[in-house]
Structure 1
Amino acid sequence: MAPHHHTRDHAHSHTHSHAHSHTHSPIADNRPTVRKVLIITLLLNLFVMGLKTVVGFWTGSLSLLADAMHSFTDSANNILGLVTSQLSSPIPDRDHPYGHQKYEAIGALGIAAFLGIACFTILEGAVERLLHNESTVRISAPELWLLLLVLGVNIFVAFYERRVGQQVGSPILIADAQHTMSDIWVTITVLAGLLGIWIFGFQWLDVVLAFPVAILVFRSAWKVLRDNLPWLVDEMAIAPEAIHDVVMQVPGVLNCHSIASRGLLGRQVFIDMHLIVNAADVETAHKITEAVEARLEQHYHPVRVTIHVEPPSYQEEKISYETRH
């Protein structure tokens, strides 16, 4: 029996002309939900940014103006998210046969870049004020109440975005919620500093607290990078040994090797492998590959599997691609 390739997209069962004994659910297009959430959070972030900027200028607080700039990146991220979610359809087309979902990861990297810029600007402002010894912050009770309102809005935005992001599996919403979560800590830090200035007159608190603000911003940037780079560089999605264990449970499979996977588990995974089957004809081999695909779909849904079938006489022991030393 001559080796042949067998490919099937489990996400789009309507593309097959022949019937299957197992069913496949289509990929859900979560873009309308993502877009609605981003528009709501954009309006709230613009409100937060405006309030922080006004209070920052009133009081002359560097840490608060830095926090306002951090909130400005929130708004910019929402706009970026709206653009990328428009582009990131999970449905393949002629030009993008693997779907468009990496656009969302690129959007998340844009968020990391914004966070990096915010971090640098905060540090630059703090060092400049330390060198020139300029610290004249004027704070009053109404301004502190306004900042508490800002904090409440930030907390709502972060939890709302994260909850919806996890429900629909959107990296852009989860990344943006992470950013807003860092904004909450920034606002709490700044509020604590301004309380210290208001109660005790500790002017130095404003500049000193600008540094932890920068560290929190940098931490968020690093987390966004860490979460999205593996997807963009096609890092292994599932351990080949785990795939091998699943496939070997299927009757008629003698061995599988050269196993590769990429994508995001739970979102969209692509698997390809070479499969040695105990089959004397193409029809039997096809049935075995169908069973393998069904088993992989059951474990790693949604998944697209490409199988290169090999005859029983073929010998190969390497499960995956070797690491170069």
Structure 2
Amino acid sequence: MESKELKIVFMGTPEFAVPSLDKLIETGYRVVGVITATDKMGGRGGKKLLESPVKKAAVRLGIPVLQPKNLKESDFQEALRALGADLQIVVAFRMLPAAVWQMPRLGTFNLHGSLLPRYRGAAPINWAVINGDRETGATTFFIRQEIDTGDVLLQHRMPIGENETAGDVHDRMMVEGAELVVDTVRLIESGDYTLRKQDDAQATPAPKIHRETCRIDWHRPVGEVHNFVRGLSPWPAAWTTLDGNQLKIIRSRAETRSQTLPPGTVIVEDNELKVACTGGNLIVEEVQLAGRKRMSTGDFLRGDSISAGQVLE
């Protein structure tokens, strides 16, 4: 079957999914429909209609869009069936009912941001960075009912730099993942591939991250604190308290050295902001006070908001 004959339905919502959709069109594939989240009210005062990045991309590309509230609704499933897709592709969408993922004759595959079976769940990039992994990657697999457990089609490995944030890795992965999506479509199209079952014994979780669990524990080893900060950057961001106010730490570096100061103690040296941890100091490079914009630590120090000897909690 030639590329132009293969009919694809694409499902996704955030910016992470947009390069994959763009790459499919650029490569010449026929995307007959896009499924994405419903529009929401937001912005200042909640008065602005917000469309998902994938919807905006679909409109730009002239692709029909469906925005179901409930994927189990018969009207939606009839509309989806009417598109006549041979293949469905899921990139950063929500869990699908069996009636949806079983619909196309060639199946439905998902792009996941880890080297499955590691980091099954909602936040694979964050947890790989938080845990100090030096490598991650992306996986395409055929969907089945249990989340992130389907048979693997292709994988692409990516290094993680020692100071890279989850946001840095995310931005690289959404581009490299788009290439993997197209490679996977070509593979399925050829019919010449072998699926690899996941080893459940090697599986690790990547649960959704909540703001309330992002508080920094300054008693932990400095390397772990650094990984925690970068694994939660840029969102929802690791935080501590300064004079009772929340202070988010967006970027940092780890300085390993003997440490006698109490954990959380602020150190100011050569216009650098450091915080004492177990086994060293966290060098803070970018911060955000509650209700303020993000700023470099140089600007933060010039604002007299913090001084040496204070203790962050």
State if a TM-score over 0.5 links the two structures: no
Which structure has the higher relative contact order (CA within 8 Å, separation 6+)?
1
TM-score normalised according to structure 2 size = 0.28
TM-score by length of 1: 0.27
The structure with the greater share of residues assigned to helix is: 1
